[in-house]
């Protein structure tokens, strides 16, 4: 992991502010991802942005933006909680679209289902109105390097 990411991660944990860490990832800035810590969990937010619309007739957020948001949320979740020495590398990503993503804020929560020495599996749920009505669910598998020693 570069010293920039390592330093940003340490500062983010200390201050509870993950914006500087997200600023190091260009795609996160492009689609506007935000991250906040709520108790022991991370909550990811994709603010409504006209540049993310795929179907202007509905209007609905582009499916690729939803996929990118969920994949990046899973990778960031691993980076922040497990302390991997870099952004984990994706092995496989499977996404189920459940309903159209309307033009409004979208939220995501991640859960590490299984973590081995080299691979981690993460479940991601994205919603808009209420978490009980998800717009998409995903399963992501990542190759991870050995966690950082604290």
Supply 37's token pair.
């810590």
pLDDT band at 74 (very low <50, low <70, confident <90, very high): very high
pLDDT band at 79 (very low <50, low <70, confident <90, very high): confident
Name the more confident of 107 and 25: 107
Inter-CA distances, 27 with 17, 61, 71, 128, Å: 18, 16, 11, 21
Look at residues 106, 127, 128 and name the one whose alpha carbon lies nearest to residue 47.
106
The 3-state DSSP class for residue 64 equals helix
Q: Is the pLDDT of residue 119 over 80?
A: yes
CATH of span 3-143: 3.10.129.10
Chain position carrying tokens 């302390």: 83
Q: Is the pLDDT of residue 2 over 60?
A: no
Q: Identify whether the C-beta of residue 120 lies closer than 8 Å to the C-beta of residue 91.
A: no
pLDDT band at 15 (very low <50, low <70, confident <90, very high): confident
Per-residue pLDDT at 150? 46
- Residue 135 Cα to chain centre, angstroms: 15
């Amino acid at each position: 992991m570069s010293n920039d990411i390592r330093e940003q991660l340490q500062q983010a944990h200390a201050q509870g502010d993950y914006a500087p860490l997200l600023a190091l990832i260009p795609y996160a800035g492009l689609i506007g991802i935000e991250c906040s810590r709520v108790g022991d969990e991370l909550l990811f937010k994709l603010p409504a942005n006209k540049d993310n619309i795929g179907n202007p007739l509905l209007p609905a957020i582009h499916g690729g933006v939803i996929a990118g948001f969920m994949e990046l949320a899973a990778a960031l979740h691993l980076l922040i909680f497990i302390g991997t020495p870099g952004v984990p590398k994706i092995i496989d990503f499977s996404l189920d679209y459940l309903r159209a993503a309307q033009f409004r804020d979208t939220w995501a929560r991640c859960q590490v289902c299984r973590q081995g020495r080299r691979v981690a599996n993460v479940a991601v749920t994205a919603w808009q109105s209420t978490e009980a009505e998800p717009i998409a669910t995903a399963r992501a598998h990542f190759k991870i390097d050995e966690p950082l020693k604290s």
